Amino acid sequence: MANTITQWRPGFYYDYDEHGCRLDKCRYVRFATYRELKKKLPEFLKHQSEIQVSRSKRGEWGEFYENWILSNGKPKIVKQGWM
C-alpha cells in the first residue's frame, strides 16, 4: 500500500471540449501505474497538443511533473522537474 503523503497515482488534466482547460470543462484522468499512463498517452495527445503529467517518483519525496507532446507519432517529454 502506498503512503498517501509521498506517493500518489499518476495522472493529468484532460480537456474534453478542446477549448482550453477550465476547471468546469476538464477532468483529472488517473491511472493505476505510470506504465499504464504511458500506454494511453498517445490517444489523449491526438486530441490535445500538450499534456502535463503529475506523479511521484519511487524513493523520492514530492510531486514530479512532465510535459508531453506528440512528436512523429510518439509521445515525447519536452519539460520535466519537481513542483
Residue 81 has pLDDT above 60, yes or no: yes
Q: How far apart are CA 32 and CA 16, in angstroms?
A: 21
Banded model confidence at residue 5, pLDDT cuts 50, 70, 90? low
- What is the H or E stretch that residue 50 is in? strand 50-55
Least confident of 19-23, 37-41, 59-63, 67-71: 19-23
Position 4 pLDDT exceeds 90: no
Predicted pLDDT of residue 46: 87
- 11-41 residue pLDDT tens: 998 876 655 555 566 788 899 999 999 999 9
